[in-house]
Every structure is written in structure tokens, then in C-alpha cells.
Amino acid sequence: MLGAAGNVFRVPELRKKIGITLALLIVYRIGSHIPLPGVDVDAVREATRNASGAFGAALGMFNTLSGGSLGNLVLFSLGIMPYISASIIFSLLTKVVPTLEKLSKEGTAGQKKINQYTRYATVPLCIIQAFFIVKGVIPSMLNAGTGFAPVIDPDLFYTFRYQALAVLALTTGGIFLMWLGEQMTEYGIGNGISLLIMCGIVSSIPVAVRDFVGQPGVDPTQKIQTGIILGMIFLGMIMVVVLITKAHRRIPIQQARQMRGRRVYGGQRHYLPIKLNQAGVMPVIFASSLLIVPGILFSVIGSQFLSNLFNTNSF
């Protein structure tokens, strides 16, 4: 296996694709550390770390979906989710709108047109989500009882000029990420959108390892044992996920025999592979997101008991 991985770098075309992908991922990570105008990065990180209750659960979920950037209020806080949402919307519309259905059946030209509409739809989705971040997430951090103000000057930040600037910056970052993903898909190794999400999530692993190793009052031997167990669980989960993702059911297809002159054709047995997991991880993501909504609503109403029922740490 190591020899096959080494052969990848001996092929000039593959080496070029990997280099382009890594360069674009570096650009993505640089943009993930550029804060929004007027935002105190250190205070935001402390507020995110100390957030609890329904707001903390919602922030953690959306931070995961955005690739680990929403909780830091940076230029790429929206992540690639607006583009994914627009893609899902147009995937559904192609089944109910006759014009889009006709375009989808025109082959490559029709698909390019649908992709163009998807890019156009990403812009208003970015603006709407950026508006909710400025009007919803930042005030919630101020009022979450964490003791940390996420902005340097709250009075100045909540002027129309600064809010419009923040919305513009978030929208531009979301559109730029969409472009990065498409460039990685076209000129890199492919699956640019998935690579951006994975890169954002994996980037939090070194911080988690640092916090685990730096735990005070824990015996070093216990840390080593816990690290080995966690590593084994991590590898086991990867193996199970790959197994379920690649698993398919082979539906037998028996081809009928045909007589042409004196020769008999067909009669062979084929298989139609159908993936065991057709929907991927999207049902889990949407189910987790939907379960957060009741907790937020009950928290707003003031029913702490019902809000705790939908807390991820409760039974």
C-alpha cells in the first residue's frame, strides 16, 4: 500500500493535481484565521468554549457544519453550507419544475446551466445567513452569560455601517469558498467541497490533542492508556464508515437468451450493485440539526426542564 501511495507522486499529472489541492487548502486555512472587522478573536474563542445550554448545542452543531469556522467569527464563518444548500434546493426543484427537469435531461450543457443557477442562488443564501450571524450569533454570545464580549466595541459594531461591512465580508468569504471548491474539483484531485469541510473539521484535532495532553492533575500513564483507546476507537470508526459507505447489495439480473440465425446470444447472469447507504451522512446531520430546534424554542419560552430534555448531554 505504501508503494502504491509513493507511485502517486511519480506521475507528473497527479503530482500537479495534489500540489494545486494543497495550495488551495492553505489559502482556505489562511482565510479561516482572518477575523471579521471589529471582532475580538480571543474573546470569541472563550465565549464559544464556555457557551452552554441550547445556544451552546446549536453553536457546536453549526460550527461543525461550517467546517469549524462559525464559532470563531472569521471571514469563512459561513463555510460551504450556502452552496450545499443551494445544490440541494436545485436537486429537488429539478423533480418538480418542468423547465429545470428539461435542462437536466440535456446532458452536459443542461447541467452547466443548472450549476450556474446554483451559483446565483448561493449569493442570496450567503447574505441571509450572514445577516443571521450578525444579528443572531453575536448578540447571543453577548447575552449567553459567558462573560466575554465577542466584539471590541459593541456600540460601534452595532451601527449599520459595521453590520453591513460584516455581512459583505461573510458573503464574499462564502462565494470565495464556493470558487475554491470548484477549482479543486476541476484542477485538483476532485471532491473540492468535501475536502473543504474535512479540512475545517480536521484542523481542530491538534487543539483537541493539546488540550488532552495538557490536562492538569491526570496521571501520565492514564493519559497514554486513554490516548491508545481513543486512537483504536477512531481507527475502528473509520473502518466501519468505509465499510458501510462501500457496501452494496448485488441484485441479480438474468439476461434472456436470443436466437439469431443458428447462434444463441445472451443468457448471461449480471449484477446490479445498489449502495447500502444511499443517503450518506446527510440524514444524521439534519436529524441532529432538527433536534436542536426544540431546545432553542423551549429556552426562549423559559421552560428550562423541557429545554434540558433536548440537551445533547441529557438522557
The answer to whether residue 79 sits within a structural domain is yes
The per-residue pLDDT for 123 is 92
Say how far apart CA 309 and CA 315 lie, in whole Å.
7
**Residues in the chain, how many?**
315
Least confident of 4-18, 54-68, 194-208, 252-266: 54-68
The per-residue pLDDT for 149 is 63
Q: Which of the two residues, 202 and 45, has the higher pLDDT score?
A: 202
The answer to whether residue 295 sits within a structural domain is no
The answer to whether residue 107 sits within a structural domain is yes
146 pLDDT band (50/70/90 cuts)?
Answer: low
Tell how far CA 223 is from the center of its chain: 30
The answer to whether residue 70 sits within a structural domain is yes
Exposed, middle or buried, 263 (CB in 10 Å: 0-12/13-18/19+)?
exposed
Residue type, 233: I
Least confident of 129-133, 155-159, 171-175, 269-273: 155-159
Which grid cell is 296?
Answer: 432553542
The per-residue pLDDT for 124 is 92
The answer to whether residue 28 sits within a structural domain is yes
Domain that holds residue 131: 12-203
The answer to whether residue 155 sits within a structural domain is yes
Yes or no: say if 72 and 104 are a contact pair by the CB < 8 Å rule: no
Position 19 pLDDT exceeds 60: yes
Position 10 pLDDT exceeds 70: yes
Please identify which residue in the block is written with the cell numbers 445577516.
Answer: 131
Q: Is the pTM of this model over 0.75?
A: no
Say how far apart CA 195 and CA 187 lie, in whole Å.
13
Number of domains within the chain: 1
Nearest alpha carbon to residue 200 among 219, 216, 180, 227: 180
DSSP string, 18-59: HHHHHHHHHHHHHHTT-BPTTB-HHHHHHHHHH--HHHHHHH
The per-residue pLDDT for 232 is 93
Q: What is the CATH number of the domain that holds 99?
A: 1.10.3370.10
The answer to whether residue 118 sits within a structural domain is yes
Q: Which of the two residues, 209 and 295, has the higher pLDDT score?
A: 209
